[in-house]
């Protein structure tokens, strides 16, 4: 059993906000260009100084470039209907609605380069040890659509409230585990229609999760063994698939009868000490078992792990320990928590004066990745017009993500959903798309210092440092057709010969190549200057190039 890095029920052994800066975004001035290189390096040093760097580790491509991922969850509709009103006429096939054309649209219209693709244990292993390879072949076909579109895929083994049916055939939750693996010991599930997440508190659901987690001290250790073997089968099927980035081992793990957290640090819900111990021991050991099985067939893909959903989703600390990766070479484990504001859900509106979930989430996640040494991405976040001021919540979330994460996948890509960027007619919902679509560095040839996008000024800033062995250009997505109709100007704060930057207008990707001899780099993108002309060149200390928008 794993040991907690700190006592169960305690907060992390330091104040996670002690290293936060009030001004983490990079801002480079348009005047006094002769001084900008020195200023850029000062900003780079500021971004990397102290005990809490903005970024701790990165996913890397096969050229060693740091990856930043923006994308969508595909898709909630794959869950299929529940059985709470009797057997559905169409139980669903476990696939999202996505089409080949839509896979390309995700990249072309919005500049997204990743999807978190939902799959389900119930569809992979409908009977113990019996795998539905036809289902996985259909998943692979859709993965191929994304490959052709230049989009990474993270396979997410999804569950909501454990599963659909228990072993006796009674309806229990929503999706996830197969019927044969849903053991409730006769507890009756009473469906809460008012708030779906409260169904996690149902005794039947708690019992099903307890049977899954209680490996060493339970009566059904075969459940975890089967789950790990199921993941081994999936990984064996997708190992070597060029755009499958990795595997999200379980969506929003729930602690069963051990659930609990301190909401806002003041209001205990459930048993916080029990959940802290469960997370540091039973959940961690579960991840170790599943990871070992995956690594027996796939040493190259990333393992994505999530903390306990209760608490961490709202910004409370997690108690996951640092996990070792049994693969040969550097570890490839990424931290993939979700973010949702419980305060916004209760109040029906977002008010940052009352809601500290974003700064709490940022502070605690910074502390956790410093301890675990992993890349950090947001697996889910989202909101819609049923919440007042929801766009501000989305804007502040993506700004926070720029500061501290390597990207995110928005929930969810379902036409007509009040949170989606598509309406029921598959037309873009501009108010949400205009928040989510932003300039960002997709691949960085080195280690990122900091990056930020200012939607009001339409300015993007990036600092990075060369790393030995990294090849290829730094690639930046610039939504030129959407936000730069008059074109844009790129400034690299160092002298270079011509040909240092190229523009792919079809993909809307800017490629930047630096020359040997300068290891620290700073770049800025702004809208094309007015017809009066660009500012002075800055005494040879910058390279500047402008691009028209087709």
DSSP per-residue letters across 109-169: HH---EEEEEE-HHHH-SBTTB--HHHHHHHHHHHHHHHHTT-EEEEEE--BSSBSB-TTS
Q: Give me the half-sphere count of Cα atoms (radius 13 Å) on the Cβ side of residue 474.
A: 26
66-67, strands of its sheet edge to edge: 66-67, 440-444, 474-477, 509-512, 501-504
Q: Which of 437, 338, 455, 432 is nearest to 385 (CA)?
A: 432
Q: How many CB atoms lie within 10 A of CB 180?
A: 18
pLDDT for position 100: 98
pLDDT for position 69: 98
Backbone phi, psi, residue 461, to 5°: -130, 145
Q: How many CB atoms lie within 10 A of CB 219?
A: 10
Q: Which of 147, 119, 146, 148 is nearest to 135 (CA)?
A: 119
**pLDDT tens track of the chain, all 550 residues?**
333 333 333 333 333 333 433 333 333 323 323 333 333 333 333 333 334 456 779 999 999 999 999 999 999 999 999 999 999 999 999 999 999 999 999 999 999 999 999 999 999 999 999 999 999 999 999 999 999 999 999 999 999 999 999 999 999 999 999 999 999 999 999 999 999 999 999 999 999 999 999 999 989 999 999 999 999 999 999 999 999 999 999 999 999 999 998 877 778 889 999 999 999 999 999 999 999 999 999 999 999 999 999 999 999 999 999 999 999 999 999 999 999 999 999 999 999 999 999 999 999 999 999 999 999 999 999 999 999 999 999 999 999 999 999 999 999 999 999 999 999 999 999 999 999 999 999 999 999 999 999 999 999 999 999 999 999 999 999 999 999 999 999 999 988 765 689 999 999 999 999 988 889 999 999 999 754 554 444 434 578 888 888 7
- The domain total for the chain is 1
- Distance CA(85)–CA(98), nearest Å, equals 27
**Is 39 a member of any domain?**
no
409: helix, strand or coil: strand
The angle, 0 to 180 degrees and rounded to 10, between the axes of the packed helices 100-110 and 133-148 is: 40
Q: Give me the half-sphere count of Cα atoms (radius 13 Å) on the Cβ side of residue 157.
A: 29
Domain that holds residue 194: 107-405
**Is 253 a member of any domain?**
yes
pLDDT for position 321: 97
- Distance CA(165)–CA(127), nearest Å, equals 13
Q: Which of 72, 150, 154, 159 is nearest to 122 (CA)?
A: 159
**Is 521 a member of any domain?**
no
Q: Cα–Cα distances in Å, from 103 out to 117, 125, 153, 339?
A: 12, 27, 11, 25
Q: Is 15 exposed, middle or buried (0-12, 13-18, 19+ CB in 10 A)?
A: exposed
The strand pair at 474-477 and 543-547 is best described as unpaired
**Is 55 a member of any domain?**
no
Q: List the Cα angle 136/142/147 in 5-degree steps.
A: 120
Where do we find the tokens 């229609």? 193
Say which CATH number the domain at 366 has.
3.20.20.80
Q: Tokens for 505, please give them.
A: 């207008």
Q: Which are the contacts of 254, defined by CB distance < 8 A and separation ≥ 6?
A: 162, 200, 205, 209, 308, 309, 310
**Is 247 a member of any domain?**
yes
pLDDT for position 498: 57
Q: Which are the contacts of 400, defined by CB distance < 8 A and separation ≥ 6?
A: 358, 361, 362
**Is 502 a member of any domain?**
no
Do the beta carbons of residue 293 and residue 243 sit within 8 Å? Answer: no
Q: Which of 254, 88, 258, 77 is nearest to 171 (CA)?
A: 88
Q: Which of 172, 229, 174, 164 is nearest to 203 (CA)?
A: 172
**Is 23 a member of any domain?**
no
How remote is the C-alpha of 104 from its chain's centroid?
Answer: 20
Q: Which of 394, 119, 110 is nearest to 231 (CA)?
A: 119
**Is 525 a member of any domain?**
no
Q: Cα–Cα distances in Å, from 79 out to 177, 179, 193, 250, 493?
A: 12, 15, 17, 14, 49
């Amino acid at each position: 059993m794993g040991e907690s890095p700190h006592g169960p029920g305690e907060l992390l052994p330091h104040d996670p906000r002690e290293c936060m800066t009030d001004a983490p975004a990079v801002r480079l001035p348009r005047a006094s260009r002769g001084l900008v290189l020195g200023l850029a390096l000062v900003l780079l040093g500021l971004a990397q100084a102290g005990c809490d760097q903005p970024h701790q580790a990165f996913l890397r491509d096969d050229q060693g470039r740091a990856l930043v991922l923006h994308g969508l969850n595909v898709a909630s509709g794959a869950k299929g209907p529940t059985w709470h009103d009797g057997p559905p006429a169409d139980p669903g096939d476990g696939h999202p609605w996505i089409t080949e054309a839509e896979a390309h649209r995700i990249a072309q219209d919005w500049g997204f380069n990743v999807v978190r693709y939902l799959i389900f244990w119930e569809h992979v292993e409908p009977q113990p040890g019996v795998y539905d390879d036809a289902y996985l072949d259909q998943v692979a076909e859709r993965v191929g659509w994304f490959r052709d579109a230049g989009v990474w895929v993270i396979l997410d083994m999804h569950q909501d409230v454990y599963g659909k049916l228990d072993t006796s055939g009674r309806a229990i939750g929503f999706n996830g585990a197969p019927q044969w693996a849903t053991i409730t010991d006769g507890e009756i599930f009473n469906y809460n229609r008012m708030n779906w997440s409260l169904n996690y508190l149902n005794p039947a659901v708690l019992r099903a999760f307890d049977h899954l987690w209680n490996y060493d001290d339970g009566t059904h250790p075969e459940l975890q063994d089967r789950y790990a073997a199921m993941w081994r089968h999936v990984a064996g099927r997708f190992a070597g698939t060029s755009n499958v980035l990795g595997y999200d081992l379980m969506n929003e793990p729930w602690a069963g009868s051990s659930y609990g957290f301190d909401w806002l640090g003041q209001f205990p819900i459930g048993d916080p000490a029990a959940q802290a111990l469960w997370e540091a021991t039973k959940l961690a050991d579960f991840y170790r078992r599943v990871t070992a099985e995956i690594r027996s067939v796939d040493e190259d893909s990333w393992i994505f792990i999530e903390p306990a959903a209760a608490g961490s989703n709202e910004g409370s600390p997690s108690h996951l320990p640092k996990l070792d990766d049994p693969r040969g070479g550097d570890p490839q484990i990424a931290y993939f928590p979700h973010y949702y504001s419980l305060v916004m859900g209760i109040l029906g509106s977002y008010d940052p004066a009352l809601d500290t979930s974003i700064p709490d989430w940022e502070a605690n996640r910074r502390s956790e990745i410093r301890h675990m040494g992993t890349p950090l991405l947001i697996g889910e976040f989202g909101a819609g017009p049923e919440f007042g001021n929801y766009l501000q919540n989305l804007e502040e979330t993506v700004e926070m993500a720029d500061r501290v994460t390597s990207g995110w996948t928005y929930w969810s890509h379902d036409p007509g959903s009040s949170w989606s960027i598509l309406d029921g007619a598959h037309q873009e919902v501009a108010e949400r798309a205009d928040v989510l679509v932003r300039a960002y560095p997709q691949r960085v040839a080195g280690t990122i210092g900091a990056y930020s996008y200012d939607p009001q000024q339409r300015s993007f800033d990036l600092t990075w440092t060369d790393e030995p062995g990294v090849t290829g250009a730094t690639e930046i997505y610039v939504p030129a057709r959407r936000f730069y109709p008059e074109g844009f100007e790129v400034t690299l704060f160092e002298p270079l010969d011509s040909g240092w930057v190229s523009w792919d207008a079809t993909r809307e990707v800017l490629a930047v190549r630096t020359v040997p001899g300068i290891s620290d780099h700073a770049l800025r993108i702004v809208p094309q200057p007015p017809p009066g002309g660009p500012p002075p060149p800055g005494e040879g200390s910058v390279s500047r190039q402008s691009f028209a928008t087709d």
